Every structure is written in C-alpha cells, then in structure tokens.
Amino acid sequence: MEFQVHQQRPRELRWFHASSMLFGDWGTSRLYVLGLALFYSAGASFYHVIGMCLLMTAVAWAYTIVCRCFQDGGGVYSAARAVNRRVAVVGAMLLFASYVITAAISAVAAFRYLGFTVEESPPLAILSIGAIGAINFIGPKSAGRFATIIAVATLVVTVILGALCLPHLGEGLKHISFTPRTVGVEWVSFVHIILALSGVEAIANMTGVMV
C-alpha cells in the first residue's frame, strides 16, 4: 500500500543564510584539518591538502546536481530513494549516525583546542550542542542569521591571519618536502584529513527550505 506524505516545507532560507550555515559546517572543517595534515604528514602535508581540495571540489560539483534534482531537500536520502527505498533508509540511518558522532567529536575537540581539560570539555560540548539546537529550534532563518554573523567574523579573522603570514611565506615554502613512504602509510595519512568532507550533506538538506 502506498501512502502519500506531504513533504513541502516553508521556504524561508535565503542563499546567504544557507551559504553561511554550509561554511559553518563544511568550510570550517578545512581550517582545523590543516593542523591534522601537518601532524600526520609533516612536510608532505601540502600535497595531501591539495588532494583534499580536489576531492572537495568534485564532491561539491556532485552535490550541485543532487540539490538541483531534489529541491525539496533530503540530499543523499532523496537521491538513493530514487534508486531503492531500502538503500535510502540505510543511507538515512548512516547519515543520522554521522551527524550525531560528528557533532559530539567536533564540539569536544573545539573545547580541547581552546585549552579546556579532558574533564571539562564533554560537559561544555553538551551545553554548546544544546544551545545550537535551541537556535535551530527557533527556525532556520534565525540559525542562518547567527551563522552569517559567525561566518563574517571568521572570514575577517582568516584574512588578518593570512596577511600576518605573508612575510613568512617564503620560509614556509622551503619546508615543503616529500619523504617517500609506503602507499599504505600515505593513504592512512590522507584519510585522516578527509574529515574535512564532513558536513557537505548539510547544504543538500537545506534545499527544502531555501527560497
């Protein structure tokens, strides 16, 4: 028996709201991945980051197709449902698990970056996730405004840091190296920084509320 479910949602999210939310979810990932790349790959991190950027570009292109074809949202779930409903259910469950795990790990890691202890970080992470949930509960437009403020502030700080690093660019380029290692070791190092891809599904799920 087929059941028809009304899926239309109020479209109140402008493109700049959505782009800010995507930046907060996906754009910031590449920032802290730089540290992971340097930790795992040392002087070869330059090449791994280039590879990550190429992969992110390919994934972003694929998601432009997903968002254009499934404008009511759903992302991978909607795309998989067009092929097989069981596959769509499995994909949705995996995405939900990914959201929960990514949010928890990212929040705890953020407070560790800020200098809080191992004992202090989990409670603060729970409070921060609760605060973000409260903002989203008010509505996507309110969350979009908040994300826009954060994105603009982050962009300003990034530009300032980039300007301060320019005098040291030449010295930094001298440290780019590539020490031959086994394919397995290189692959593991590369996979560690693919964490930057987490969050791209967010934009596909927002297409259902975008104007």
Average pLDDT, the chain: 78
Domain limits of the chain?
15-209
Provide mean pLDDT across the span 98-110: 80
pLDDT at 66: 77
Provide mean pLDDT across the span 22-43: 73
| 3 confidence band (pLDDT: 50, 70, 90) | very low
Q: What are phi and psi of 210, to 5 degrees?
A: -85, 145
**Percent of the chain topping pLDDT 70:** 81
Q: Concatenate the DSSP letters of all residues of 136-185 into one string.
A: HHH-HHHHHHHHHHHHHHHHHHHHHHHHHHGGGHHHHHHT-------HHH
Angle subtended by helix axes 45-69 and 29-41, to nearest 10:
150
pLDDT in tens, 154-206: 889 889 988 998 998 888 777 777 677 788 888 888 877 776 666 666 666 66
Residue that the structure tokens 């949202």 belong to: 73
Given a cut of 60, whether residue 1 has pLDDT beyond it is no
Provide mean pLDDT across the span 81-96: 81
